[in-house]
Structure 1
Amino acid sequence: MKVCRSAGAASFFLLFFWLLTPGRVCGQETNEQEKYHVDSTLFVYYQRCRTEVTSPSVMQKLDTLFQMAAEKGDARMQAVALSTKVDHFYFSPATEEQEDSLIFYTNKVKEFALKTNQPQYYYFAWANRLITYYTKQKKLNLALYEANKMQQEAEDREEIDGMQNCYQALTRIYQAKELHKQAAIYGQKLIDLTLKYNLNQYNLTNKYLELSNCYLQTHEIEKAWKALEEAQKYVLNEVQQGYILCGTLRYYVQTNDLTKARQLLEEATQYYNNNIELLTKRKTNLLEVATDYYMKTKEYDKALATHLEILEVNDFATPSSYRRLGLIYAAQKEYLKAIDNLEYAFALNDSLSSAQEDISVGEFATILGMEHLNQENKELIQKNQEILLENRRRLIILLCIIIASFAFMFFREVRLNKILRRAKDAEQSASRMKTEFIQNMSHEIRTPLNSIVGFSQLLGSISEKNEESKEYTDIIEQGSNHLLQLVDNVLELANLDSGTPILTDTKVEINALCRQWIEEAKSSPKPGVELVYQPEQEELYLHTNPSRLTQVVSHLLHNSARFTEKGSITLSWHTFPKQQSLTICVTDTGIGIPQDKQDFVFERFAKIDTFSTGTGLGLALGRLIIEKMGGSLILDGKYTEGCRFILTLPIK
């Protein structure tokens, strides 16, 4: 932890408490103002705000003070202005918005203090205002949560101020919960921290007295007396001496040394009566101890009178106050009054207590991380440095492993990319050679085939009168045409496989195109087969490739004509505006295609009937063309009266 606690830093921290304490005389104000280099204008204006700290109008004045301090570059006075806003809601009468406002302005102070490196204000607002507020409101679980969070932050930031405020808050919280064992642990830790780092020892007497009281509650008598002796060493004024008298009296009462208690009670009573500050602010402490003393000496009338005086002094009586009053009446044998007060104490306790008070110490240990208590007795600075060095070493090792892993993956990726690139180049080269071979061979085959077709036609015209010769020449012509169609299809597939694009930027009217297809297909159907056209609407324009589309649809119509003996062949089209698509259907009432062969027919060289004519490339080529145009070609499996091919194209 940071231990740079110079005299200047201590004085700087004391200034905040001095600034927040009203009632200084003019001479003191001037001296302190000069000592801490506070601008006179800011100081006078701040004093004005302090006198009106509970007034609603003070908030606007504090905004003005904050702005004035900002203009003069005094970040300390800006923090004081924000802290006084916290005081406004802390000291003002309780309202529904009090807690939310206190949280809001506490966070404002913390944010500003963190930004301007003023940790004393950061922890003061958090511990002495917000956590103390929760403690007074009996919201002890919430107070414990905030104190635990503050402890964690103080450790992480290595702030002694935060640890000091945290231990003080935890001591008070556990005292409020009557968990005096835990309160004593944190009280001792607070004292050890104060002495170890030579922090402000002004309130060290009170800290030892709180510790002594905790030890009395846990019946650790020797530790309680030792704490009293240590408290005596740090007495600085008459008020603290009065605290010592009261704490020692409590010790004698608790240990049943009633003779010394009697003497000390008289001395303490006289001392308190002679000191106005003790009499007005701390009289309740003396009266409570006096009540305990009178109960032990069986002076019940005095115990009753003293306790009734406590109830008059305090604005709010706790359940324990009425419980004690009931015990006094019971000792006096006034049982009806005893019962009334005890019943009221129980009722009041039920209304004030909450589920927080029923949570065990072990459950709080889970929330607050009580496992740190034993470890905190070690040297905090050395431990934090060791942890920091270990974390850095682990981080460096982890970064090295991550870098090495990334380097390995990078070089592996580069190597694999090179291998894949070579394989891709080889594949593209092989594909290109295949395409070139097919194109060259198709070109070379096409030339003699054209000659064969031409001469077979010539022979047919010469031998028209000879039926046998005519039959042979027709066979030659049909075979040549079939072979020529095969070459054309193979050449077409090769071009498309090589990546040749199909442009679809020609605007056409679909009805005109369909009528052209119907006209060209009129001679194909067998006798008795009707060729039907069913348009969806009278006119529709789209951008496509009409020659390629004609090639595919004409083949579908030709196929339907080949395998339809009777019935009809229907060409129809429909639009789907939401999908921005057009479907063209070719439906026939022919022999159909079995369900298990409907995907097979789109494969290359696929023929269901091996004895039928055709190359088996038409449907595969048609699907490839349509896919190149951004569409699809499928066979409708739900149609069972023949075949229905559905061609889908996007509408541009």
Structure 2
Amino acid sequence: MKVCRSAGAASFFLLLFWLLTPGRVCGQETNEQEKYHVDSTLFVYYQRCRTEVTSPSVMQKLDTLFQMAKEKGDERMQAVALSTKVDHFYFSPSFEGQEDSLIFYTNTVKDFSLKTDQPQYYYFAWANRLITYYTKQKKFNLALYEANKMQKEAESREEIDGMQNCYQALFRIYQSKELYKQAALYAQKLIDMTLKYNMNQYNLANKYLELSNCHLQNNAPQKAWEAIEEAKKYIINEMQQGYLLCATLRYYVHVEDLPKAGTVLEEATQLYNSNTELKAKRLTHLLEAAVDYYMKIGEYDKALAMQTQSFGILKQNGFIPPIAYRRLGLIHASKKEYQKAIDNYEHAFLLSDSLGSIQEDRSAGEFATILGMEQLNQENKELIRKNQEIQLENRRRLIILLCIIVASFAFMFFREVRLNKILRRAKDVEQSASRMKTEFIQNMSHEIRTPLNSIVGFSQLLGSISGKDEEAKEYTDIIEQGSNHLLQLVDNVLELANLDSGTPILTDTKVEIGKLFRQWMEETKNSFKPGVEPVYEPGQEEVYVHTNPGRLTQVISHLLHNSARFTEKGSITLAWHTNPKQKLLTISVTDTGIGIPQDKQDFVFERFAKIDTFSTGTGLGLALGRLIMEKMGGSLTLDGKYTGGCRFVLTLPLK
């Protein structure tokens, strides 16, 4: 990698940090100005712009600064002017179009940085502004999408600065998502890179302490303590010493070494009280650790006082997270103040539900945005692929015409090999895109499943405590049914994505097919409506086949339940027979229900297809069933000749 280049880039970052930090004394300004050879006129004008960074008028002033720097041939100050435009939209209060403006000016900085070979601004705007904005807005899927793109670019260009910014961004994302195992991985990578390439170690102590916290969250206290020991080597001021004491206190509380925890708490309290900056900026860290300590030793009044003080600070910052209410509820429950505990847990639940709804809306928007990007990329790849196919065909014809000339044949053979390599690379890129899509859907399913599981759990809890209140029980049942319906939709979408990505279905389990059929009919007949007769028609007494009983059960059970839903009277028949000549097992599910119109019989196998949009169901069952049968080497079709209801026919090869 470009180690030499990274040393120079570190100096550029020092300049950027200095330029983007207002409020320095005049002597420091003069020294830094001379050190980095910044023109005094440009520097003074930049300082004026920086003090008004959130004002709408600053955009015109930054255009002037950019032009002045261009006239003086100062490309570095031009990049700073453009980066400050990014800062304007990053630090400004939220407004409509803020995200679009931030994206536009981030891309402007990136384009200019590439043209002028200033990668430090390229990655600074991308990671510390755009990706950090997505992370703070809880748009984690977009943040991960951008971070993965940045990682690939940085690796392909061998840019140390880019990899450092990428690891930092990924650490922030996973820490915000409370996925501490992944966060610990990137925190360790960031530390290793800092040490390996001898980068600026000013914040190395903080990085170790963040790593320690991740290990504690992952219940790995030994690794957490090793990270604390490493952090001690790089402590350079009281602010970092305060962080260290809080991390040590959390560790001792976690391992239940309470005497040492009490000693560390006393030392940390003295330090926070003597350092006004530490107390003003990071007091909540100490208070949270102190609450855990006092809860451990049973001094609930002190724990309540600490949590109340933390509440006041969070309220001043404008947002109290649900976990703060849960902690307060736990304290009141320990004090046997159950009504107060219930009130705080209820507040935490309502706040979590509200945040969950907002996150679902954002995730849906991110999903649409990324799908739009992927669609454009796929269309572009398709055009490239078709163009390559046309070129390949033309070259093959040329080879046929010139095959009598040995030299020409050898030349064209070389071109053929080269084109095959290009096609393989294109195929690898396409497979990578498919994997990204599958990973995205899996991540989306996880993000949606988490709040839905909370809703199902709390609805069951509400149902259990509602007693004889029939109206409350009815409402909780509706909530639970709707949540289970959404969970089924998520499971079906995830399963379709896995099967589309090429996941095979093994069919090597030997089973007695008659026993399996009788089991299906017995399990599903309870869902039949009154007046509907279950009929089982076996082809012969005992047949053993090699198949996948779990997947086959999934398809047949869905067909039986479908028939039960749409059959009011008559019968539902499950029949099967074997064809030794063709080596096929044929299964049919026949009902006397409402049937499916002729013009809709192909439509029902499409994904999310529903003939009656007001009926329950995801519209994925038949599509998923057909895909499963095809993966097993068989088929699932609808018998169009049967008019007494519906008849679905499955075929499987006999082994």
State the partner residue of 2:187: 187
**1:207 correspondence with 2:207:** yes
State the partner residue of 2:149: 149
Distance 1:60 1:180, change over 3 A: same
* Bigger Rg, structure 1 or 2: 1
The whole-number CA distance in structure 2 between the counterparts of 1:9 and 1:231 is: 25
State the partner residue of 2:330: 327
Deviation at 1:276, TM superposition (A): 2.1
State the partner residue of 2:68: 68
State the partner residue of 1:341: 344
Q: Which of 403, 408, 422 is the equivalent residue of 2:399?
A: 408
Residue type at the aligned position of 2:340: K
The whole-number CA distance in structure 2 between the counterparts of 1:355 and 1:186 is: 28
Deviation at 1:150, TM superposition (A): 1.0
Distance 1:358 1:224, change over 3 A: farther
Distance 1:234 1:304, change over 3 A: same
State the partner residue of 1:56: 56
State the partner residue of 1:32: 32
Deviation at 1:237, TM superposition (A): 2.0
| Contact kept in structure 1, 2:6 and 2:160, CA below 8 Å | no
Deviation at 1:406, TM superposition (A): 7.1
Q: Residue by residue, what CA displacement relative to the aligned partner does 1:501-524 show, whole Å, maximum 9, x if unpaired?
A: xxxxxxxxxxxxxxxxxxxxxxxx
Residue type at the aligned position of 1:336: Q
Deviation at 1:183, TM superposition (A): 0.7
The whole-number CA distance in structure 1 between the counterparts of 2:354 and 2:9 is: 46
For 1:11-26, list aligned pairs within 5 A. 11-26=11-26
Deviation at 1:357, TM superposition (A): 8.1
| Contact kept in structure 1, 2:9 and 2:120, CA below 8 Å | no
Distance 1:317 1:230, change over 3 A: same
| Contact kept in structure 2, 1:171 and 1:184, CA below 8 Å | yes
Deviation at 1:181, TM superposition (A): 0.7
The whole-number CA distance in structure 2 between the counterparts of 1:230 and 1:352 is: 37
Q: TM-score scaled to structure 2, two decimals?
A: 0.55
The whole-number CA distance in structure 2 between the counterparts of 1:406 and 1:234 is: 68
State the partner residue of 2:227: 227
Residue type at the aligned position of 2:123: Y
Deviation at 1:403, TM superposition (A): 11
State the partner residue of 1:104: 104
Q: Residue by residue, what CA displacement relative to the aligned partner does 1:16-40 show, whole Å, maximum 9, x if unpaired?
A: 1121112211111111111111111
Deviation at 1:321, TM superposition (A): 1.0
For 1:562-601, list aligned pairs within 5 A. none
Q: Residue by residue, what CA displacement relative to the aligned partner does 1:414-436 show, whole Å, maximum 9, x if unpaired?
A: 99xxxxxxxxxxxxxxxxxxxxx
The whole-number CA distance in structure 2 between the counterparts of 1:5 and 1:354 is: 46
Q: Residue by residue, what CA displacement relative to the aligned partner does 1:516-557 show, whole Å, maximum 9, x if unpaired?
A: xxxxxxxxxxxxxxxxxxxxxxxxxxxxxxxxxxxxxxxxxx
Deviation at 1:408, TM superposition (A): 3.5
> Which structure 2 segments of 5+ residues have no match?
371-391, 407-655
Bigger mean CA deviation after superposition, 4-13 or 232-241: 4-13
Deviation at 1:120, TM superposition (A): 0.9
Identity %: 75
State the partner residue of 1:544: none
Deviation at 1:96, TM superposition (A): 2.3
Deviation at 1:402, TM superposition (A): 10
Distance 1:5 1:253, change over 3 A: farther
The whole-number CA distance in structure 2 between the counterparts of 1:230 and 1:13 is: 25
Residue type at the aligned position of 1:23: G
Residue type at the aligned position of 2:164: Q
State the partner residue of 1:350: 353
| Contact kept in structure 1, 2:65 and 2:78, CA below 8 Å | yes
> Which structure 1 segments of 5+ residues have no match?
368-400, 416-652
Residue type at the aligned position of 2:219: H
The whole-number CA distance in structure 1 between the counterparts of 2:209 and 2:3 is: 26
Residue type at the aligned position of 1:36: Y
The whole-number CA distance in structure 2 between the counterparts of 1:85 and 1:52 is: 11
| Contact kept in structure 2, 1:215 and 1:223, CA below 8 Å | yes
Query: Any idea what SS the aligned residue of 1:73 has?
Result: coil
For 1:625-636, list aligned pairs within 5 A. none
The whole-number CA distance in structure 2 between the counterparts of 1:279 and 1:161 is: 33
Deviation at 1:166, TM superposition (A): 0.8
Q: Residue by residue, what CA displacement relative to the aligned partner does 1:168-187 show, whole Å, maximum 9, x if unpaired?
A: 11111111111111111111
- Compute the RMSD of aligned alpha carbons: 2.7
Distance 1:224 1:358, change over 3 A: farther
The whole-number CA distance in structure 1 between the counterparts of 2:276 and 2:216 is: 28
Residue type at the aligned position of 1:344: H
| Contact kept in structure 1, 2:144 and 2:173, CA below 8 Å | yes
Residue type at the aligned position of 1:102: L
Deviation at 1:411, TM superposition (A): 2.9
Deviation at 1:407, TM superposition (A): 6.1
For 1:512-551, list aligned pairs within 5 A. none
Residue type at the aligned position of 2:16: F
Residue type at the aligned position of 2:399: F
Deviation at 1:353, TM superposition (A): 2.0
Residue type at the aligned position of 1:326: G
The whole-number CA distance in structure 2 between the counterparts of 1:238 and 1:215 is: 24
Deviation at 1:194, TM superposition (A): 1.3
Q: TM-score scaled to structure 1, two decimals?
A: 0.55
Residue type at the aligned position of 1:340: D
| Contact kept in structure 2, 1:154 and 1:163, CA below 8 Å | yes
Q: Residue by residue, what CA displacement relative to the aligned partner does 1:385-426 show, whole Å, maximum 9, x if unpaired?
A: xxxxxxxxxxxxxxxx999967634536999xxxxxxxxxxx
The whole-number CA distance in structure 1 between the counterparts of 2:6 and 2:204 is: 19
The whole-number CA distance in structure 1 between the counterparts of 2:264 and 2:361 is: 38
Query: Any idea what SS the aligned residue of 2:232 has?
Result: helix
| Contact kept in structure 2, 1:231 and 1:244, CA below 8 Å | yes
Deviation at 1:2, TM superposition (A): 2.1
The whole-number CA distance in structure 1 between the counterparts of 2:108 and 2:273 is: 43
| Contact kept in structure 2, 1:294 and 1:302, CA below 8 Å | yes
Q: How many residues align?
A: 378
For 1:103-502, list aligned pairs within 5 A. 103-314=103-314, 315-353=318-356, 408-411=399-402
The whole-number CA distance in structure 1 between the counterparts of 2:304 and 2:62 is: 47
Query: Any idea what SS the aligned residue of 1:4 has?
Result: helix
Residue type at the aligned position of 1:201: Q
Distance 1:404 1:97, change over 3 A: closer
The whole-number CA distance in structure 2 between the counterparts of 1:408 and 1:60 is: 61
Q: Residue by residue, what CA displacement relative to the aligned partner does 1:302-350 show, whole Å, maximum 9, x if unpaired?
A: 2122112222112201111111111111111111111111111111111
State the partner residue of 1:582: none
Distance 1:232 1:92, change over 3 A: same
The whole-number CA distance in structure 1 between the counterparts of 2:140 and 2:357 is: 10
The whole-number CA distance in structure 2 between the counterparts of 1:58 and 1:343 is: 46
The whole-number CA distance in structure 2 between the counterparts of 1:33 and 1:24 is: 12
State the partner residue of 1:418: none
The whole-number CA distance in structure 2 between the counterparts of 1:294 and 1:94 is: 39
| Contact kept in structure 2, 1:322 and 1:341, CA below 8 Å | yes
